[in-house]
Chains A and B, each alone.
Chain A
C-alpha cells in the first residue's frame, strides 16, 4: 500500500500501525472540507522530530477530546470539527506523540486526492 511521497522510505507507517476502521475526527477550515484541509505538517515543508508522523494527518478518535483541546489551545476554536467513517482501504492509523488520544492517519496514496470528501463538518 503506497503512501505520500514525502513520507520516509523506511518504516513508515510504522509496522504497528493498523488498518484504519471506523470514525476519525479532524479539525478543518472549510465546510465542506477541501483538499487544503488535508495538508499534513510535511506538506507544509515541516518535519519536526518525526518525519513519519509529519507526513500523516492528525486525527482524534474520541469526540470528547474536542472540547478538551479547544479549552486548552484556542487555536482549535478557529477550526471546524469534521468527522469521517473510514475503512481499511483508506490507510493506516496509530496513536503517536505525547498525548494519549492523538492518532496519525497515513492516507493510502490512491485516496490522497479525495480523502477530504469522506469528511463531514459536524460542529462549528
Chain B
C-alpha cells in the first residue's frame, strides 16, 4: 500500500462497519451509511485509493438526529466530520478486516474530508423517502431513552483534544447525582434528608460517546433502544436541565422550578455548579433536543443562588377567587384582595374538585417555596387543594 498520508496513533485490524445503505454508487459504493460494532451509525465516504486497489474510507458519527436535516436539506455533510471521532479504514477486500485508526478531525488531512460546502448527493425520490422515514423512526426511538450531552470549555479543557480527568470525573459524578435525586423523587416522592437515593440504579447513565466541539460527553440511559414509550428518565433529564437553566436565570424562575423537586436537590445542584465554577469551566448542555448554555457569569450567579436551600412552607391557606384554571398545563391564578397569585397545580391535586371551584371564592392551600437573596424575595406557589371559603371560616 502506498498512500500519501499515514495516520498516526494506534492501528487496529477490525471489520469495516456494516453497510446499511449505499448513498452513492460508482463502480461500487462510494458513500455509505453503516453501523459499527458498538451500534453507532456512521456515514462513510471513499477518500483515497492506492495503486493496489485498497480504498481508504473516512467515517464520521451520523446519529439520526443529524441525518434527518441532512437528508432534508442536503447541506451540512462536512459538519458530521467536524464534531466526532473520525474513523479511517483501509479496505483492501470487502468482508476482510481492515486496518483502522480513530482520529480527531484535525488529524485527518483536509483533502480526505468532504469539502466545507459539499452537499449530500441527490438521492432518487423513493430511496430518499425510505431512508428519511427510517431515520425519523430512529429519532423517535432514541428520544424514548434518556440521553444528554455535556460539552465543557474553559480552563480544564485543552483545545479539542483533552480535558482534566479530575474535573471530568467530578463533573460527571455530580451531574449523575443530580439526575439520580430528581429521578428518585419522581418515582418515590419526598426523599429522606440523607442516605440512599431510591431507585438509583434505574437512573444510571452510560458514557457512550465523546462528541467534539469543546470536549463533550454523551450520556445515555442503559435501556432497551427499541422501546415504544419514553422512560421516566427522559423527562427527568429535561427537568434537571431546565432546573439548571433556571438557577442561572433569575430568582423567580428558579423558585418556581425548584418547587417541583425535593429540596435535597439544591445541595446537589450547588455541588455540580461549584465544580464548574472552581475549575473555571463553562458548559453547553443538550437534553432532549434543547440546548442550554452556561457561561461563566451565569455559573457564578447560579452557584450563589443555590448556596442555600429555599424556605419551604407546606401549607399556606389563602382565600380568594380562582380566576384561572388550566388542567392540562397545571397552572392556576387566584385573585386575592391584594394581588393575583399565579403558580402551578400539584401533580397530586384533585383536578375535578379544583374545576368545581373555578370562578368561585375559595380557600386555596398553597405550598410556598421562598428564595431570598440579596434582599430580594421570590415566591413560587403550588396549589395543593381547595375548600369552600365558608368551610375554612367554620374550621
Instruction: List residues of chain A with CB under 8 Å of any chain B CB.
Output: 27, 39-41, 44, 46, 48-49, 53-54, 57-58, 68-69, 71-78, 95-102
Contact = CB atoms under 8 A, between A and B. Distances in A.
B124 A40 contact: no
Contact of B29 (A39, A48, A71, A78): A48
B111 A98 contact: no
Nearest to B128: A98
Counting chain B CB atoms within 10 Å of each CB, the highest count among A41, A75, A101 belongs to A75
A4 B290 CA distance: 55
Contact of B25 (A40, A53, A57): A53
A71 B26 contact: no
A76 to B, nearest CB: 7
A74 B27 contact: no
A69 B55 contact: no
A44 B52 CA distance: 12
A46 B31 CA distance: 17
Given A78-B48, A99-B123, A100-B122, A73 B21 contact: no
B380 to A, nearest CB: 52
A98 B114 contact: no
A54 to B, nearest CB: 8
Contacts of A72: 24, 31, 45, 77, 114-115, 118-121
Given A100-B123, A102-B25, 16 more contacts: A40-B27, A44-B53, A57-B27, A58-B25, A69-B24, A72-B77, A73-B46, A75-B46, A75-B47, A75-B49, A75-B55, A98-B127, A99-B24, A99-B123, A99-B124, A101-B122
B47 A73 contact: yes
A53 B30 CA distance: 15
Contacts of A40: 27
A44 B125 CA distance: 30
A98 B122 CA distance: 9
Nearest to A43: B27
Contacts of B195: none
A102 B47 contact: no
A10 B341 CA distance: 79
B22 interface: yes
Contact of B112 (A46, A74, A96): A74
B39 interface: no
A75 to B, nearest CB: 4
Contact of B30 (A54, A73, A95): A73
B120 to A, nearest CB: 7
A27 B26 contact: yes
Given A73-B46, A73-B47, A102 B122 contact: no
B234 interface: no
B25 A73 contact: no
A5 B382 CA distance: 79
Interface in B2-58: 21-31, 45-49, 53, 55, 58
B117 interface: yes
B28 A73 contact: no
A73 B48 contact: no
A74 B47 contact: yes
A69 B77 CA distance: 12
Interface string B109-151: 0011111011111111101000000000000000000000000
A-B pairs with lowest CB-CB distance, top 5:
A75-B46, A71-B118, A97-B25, A98-B127, A71-B115
23 contacts: A40-B27, A44-B28, A68-B122, A69-B30, A71-B114, A72-B31, A72-B77, A72-B115, A73-B114, A74-B113, A75-B47, A75-B49, A78-B48, A95-B124, A97-B22, A98-B22, A98-B127, A99-B23, A99-B25, A99-B121, A99-B124, A100-B122, A102-B24
Contacts of A49: 22
B135 to A, nearest CB: 14
B337 interface: no
Nearest to B26: A58
Counting chain A CB atoms within 10 Å of each CB, the highest count among B27, B48, B94, B112 belongs to B27
Contacts of A39: 27
B48 A75 contact: yes
A113 B177 CA distance: 71
Nearest to B122: A100
A55 to B, nearest CB: 11
Given A27-B26, A76-B30, A68 B21 contact: no
Contacts of A98: 21-25, 123-124, 127
A82 to B, nearest CB: 13
Nearest to A40: B27
Contacts of B53: 44
A10 B218 CA distance: 50
Contacts of A48: 22, 25, 28-29
